[in-house]
Structure 1
Amino acid sequence: MRSYLLVIDSFKGCLTSLEAEAVVSETICRADPLAEVVSVPVSDGGEGMLDAFLAVMGGERVSLRVRDPLGSLITASYGVTMERVALIESAQAVGLHLVSPHRRNPLVASSYGVGQLVADAYHRGYRQFIVGLGGTATCDGGVGMLQALVDALGVEREALGEALSDCHFILASDVTNPLYGPRGAACVFAPQKGATPTMVSVIEGRMRELASQAADHLGYDRSGEPGAGAAGGLGYAFIQFLGAECRSGIDLLLEYLHFDDLICGADCVITGEGSADEQTLMGKLPYGIMRRARSAGVPTWLVAGRVGARDKLLAAGFDRVACINPPGTPPDVAMRPEVARANLSATIRSLLEAIP
């Protein structure tokens, strides 16, 4: 009897982690009724982070009205656990998925809604926070988030650290970029959020000015720390003003999962994401999974909607790398959930048939 451990990230805009793992589990069980399949819904800090951490830590959702990236009122949620930890998924309030492609504009998009989530949890007595930073539509250096806290607490921005000195913030993110520069938030992430080259230049200037002013007021500069550029600089705001600690989202989740215990006895780990390429090797979820599995001597299969740099992925340690979409599949077709389910199932069947 073979044992499979499924740790698959969402195929963004198409399948959630739970949905993707359900397809894979069903396919394996049809092919091998005696197989043992363990599914672990996961997220590295982006979309799905709240569900993944609540599933692992236990707790409940709290919903409230907040501002979305363009200022409209929406209902967003955060989690609270039995250990009195508040789980903030930034994408709940300011996610890229909340703004239609033709309206995306990181020059005006604000992270204000994230601050509203934090403030609500704070007023309810929560002092321990895990904040997921992925999947946002913003590139404002966290200024909007800070303003929401200023409005809620009635203190100046530079006094927020003192006002929230009894709070501990852990940032869950797969991003190690600094706030500005060639690898900073503007140059690397703003174009993905709708920025033109001119917008990128403007945003870069704003980031540098923000860091300069904050350093003058606070006497230190953390803009170069790994993760400061996450979520369009939202990481920087938490690190610089609130003393946050930045952690790999997947490593954090795997710790709570006791993943090293789960993997004992597994014959194969299957992981995946929407697009796998060289960026996967920069600390993204499948890479973190593969490293843990490799340390335990368990092979790892990687499935994705798009695959680039296959040779590098294999050389890094993935035992099999498979693109679920046949060559020439139009992107709009590949993104249809029913198509993705069928293609993912077919890919898994093919991988299973290749087992000696």
Structure 2
Amino acid sequence: MKIIVACDSFKGCMTSQQANEAIAKGIQKANPNHEIYCSSMADGGEGTAQVLGQCLHATKIDVKTLDAYGKEIMTYYFITKDNTAILDVASCIGLSMVEKDKRNPFIANSRGVGIMMKDAMKKGCKKMVIGLGGSSTNDGGMGLLNEFGIEFYNKHMEPCKANPYGLKNMVYINKKKFIKPNIEITVACDVNIHLLGEKGTTHFFGKQKGFYRNQMSEVDCWMKNYRDCMQHTFHVDLDSFEGGGCAGGIGACLMGVFDAKRMPGAQLVASMSNLEQHIQSSDLVITGEGQTDLQTEYGKVPFEVLNIAKKYNVPTICLSGALGIGYQKLYEHGMAGIFSSSDRAMTFQVAIDKGAEKLENLAYSIIHLMDHLQGDI
């Protein structure tokens, strides 16, 4: 049996490559006769630049920037042979960079992304691919715009900080220092949500970033004020862009102000890795992610892999670290099986530490069962 393994990264636990290798190891233990092909995947979130950089044989560039809370950090991006920069926001303002109980979206900002963009431009890049998933910010891209010279002021003509309170308090935007860069930007989005509303960025991602349920409607109103101010200054509606809600509004900022083009992240990675070519000649596809839930069907890796496999009637199963609310929807789209590698009650840290081992054991059990049912053992 030819088996394709194409997982997303398991945030804060395993890279895509590490998750694929754990599953492959489990398959080989169950039956060494199976042919296995691993394809690293990403959907615009954590690890996107790494995966695309490997696919395109790009050069890794180290850069000093700021995290979401203003702390200096070293991170990296990639530059291809044709001077295209590939970076993801999660590498500097990533959600997994901060422990869950220490996340504070009310003070987090996106300035670090702007610093990385400017570094790539100084190195001569005229094209840029930016993965937007996995951010810890909800500032609408204010911090990024600050880095390019755009200033925000409250009613007292005092500068607004780049955070949700700034969204609330701004009444005036000064763009006199802003010079639109001559660069072609593609944003890789993992979901197709807009900036505002009950299905917008604050409501959709707010809980994982640290907002309480009773805060989200108010913060969404602040984001609407930001949209209105930006529309008055730049004559563009940031809420009109599909995918604009990605990365706490950075997507809308890049599409509205920098004329960035949007492409579903998982589709972008799949096309560059020739995943479809490998799937069409396979017997089984295994995909996975850190947590499978309602968000998965909005364009995350398992959903994109499933859609490719369906074209060739190849059965697909999903192995994830955890199963959240609404994961069953994937069955309606044709997923053959959905499994969690968490085999007992455990702390989050134990789940992280034992992630690869648990995933390997799960893959072993599933392949052993399939072989038994098919009479191969």
Q: Does 1:250 align with 2:249?
A: no
Give 1:216 deviation, angstroms.
1.4
**Cα pair 2:11 2:96 within 8 Å, conserved:** no
Amino acid at match of 1:65: K
Sort the Cα spacing of 1:199 and 1:144 in 2 relative to 1 into closer, same or farther, 3 A. farther
Report what 2:18 is aligned to: 19
* C-alpha distance after superposition, 1:299-342 (max 9, x if no partner): 1111112224454322211112222222x4224265233x2222
Partner residue, 1:87 = 86
Question: For the residues of structure 2 that align with 1:39 and 1:349, how far apart are their CA atoms?
Answer: 16
Q: CA deviation at 1:232?
A: 0.6
Per the alignment, residue 330 of structure 2 pairs with 313
Q: SS state of the match for residue 186, structure 2?
A: strand
Structure 1 segment 23-38 matched on structure 2, within 5 A: 23-38=22-37
Residue 348 of structure 2 aligns with an amino acid whose one-letter code is D
In 1, Cα distance between equivalents of 2:233 and 2:176: 7
**Offset of residue 234 of structure 1:** 0.8
Cα deviations by residue, 1:172-214 (Å, 9 ceiling, x for unpaired): 1112111111111222222221123564345323311221112
Instruction: Name the CA distance, whole Å, in 2 between partners of 1:79 and 1:333.
Output: 31
The code of the aligned residue for 1:123 comes to K
| Residue 351 to residue 83, structure 1, CA distance change in 2 (3 Å) | same
Quote the Cα distance in structure 1 between the aligned partners of 2:347 and 2:243: 30
Distance 2:256 2:175 in 1: 11
CA distance in 1, matches of 2:135, 2:176: 24
Offset from partner CA, 1:203-242 (integer Å, 9 cap, x none): 3233112211121122231323211111111111101100
What amino acid is the match of 1:245?
K
Task: Choose which of 190, 207, 210 in structure 2 pairs with 1:194.
Answer: 210
Letter in 1 for 2:70: G
Q: C-alpha displacement at 1:159, in angstroms?
A: 7.3
1:347 pairs, out of 358, 362, 365, with 362
CA distance in 1, matches of 2:314, 2:54: 24
Code of the residue aligned with 1:19 in structure 2: it is Q
Match for 1:55: what amino acid?
Q
AA aligned opposite 1:265: S
1:284 aligns with 2:300: yes
CA distance in 1, matches of 2:262, 2:218: 26
Structure 2 residue aligned with 1:70: 69
- Aligned residue among 159, 175, 180 for 2:196: 180
For the residue of structure 2 that corresponds to 1:150, the secondary structure is: coil
Distance 1:210 1:313 in 2: 35
Distance 1:158 1:174 in 2: 33
Structure 1 contact 107–203 (Cα < 8 Å) conserved: no
Task: Name the SS for the 1:354 alignment partner.
Answer: helix
Gap change, CA 1:352 and 1:113, over 3 Å in 2 = same
**Aligned counterparts of 1:163 and 1:89: Cα–Cα separation in 2:** 21
Equivalence for 1:241: 257
CA distance in 2, matches of 1:45, 1:185: 16
Pairing of 1:1-356 with structure 2 (within 5 A): 2-150=1-149, 157=175, 160=178, 163-164=180-181, 166-197=182-213, 199-308=215-324, 309=326, 311-326=328-343, 328-332=344-348, 335-337=351-353, 339-355=354-370, 356=374
TM (norm. structure 2) is: 0.87
Looking at structure 1, the residues matched to 300 and 331 of structure 2 have their Cα atoms a distance apart, in angstroms, of: 15
Gaps of 5+ in 1: none
Contact 1:13 1:335 in 2 (8 A): no
The 8 Å contact of residues 45 and 249 in structure 1, kept in 2 or not, is answered as: yes
Look up the match of 2:153: none
Greater Cα offset, 277-286 or 188-197: 188-197
TM superposition shift of 1:81: 0.9
Q: 1:147 to 1:266 in 2, by over 3 A?
A: same
| 1:11-42 deviation per Cα after TM superposition (whole angstroms, max 9, x unaligned) | 21222211111111122222222222111111
In 1: Cα distance, 2:177 partner to 2:264 partner:
28
- 1:66–1:76 Cα contact (<8 Å) kept: yes
Question: Do the aligned residues in 1 keep the contact of 2:53 with 2:78 (CA within 8 Å)?
Answer: yes
TM-score by length of 1: 0.92
Residues matched between the structures, number:
348
- Give how far 1:267 is off: 1.2
Q: Distance in 1 between matches of 2:339 and 2:136?
A: 29
Determine if contact 1:179/1:223 at 8 Å carries over to the other structure: yes
Bigger drift between 195-204 and 41-50 goes to 195-204
- 1:95 aligned partner, one-letter code: G
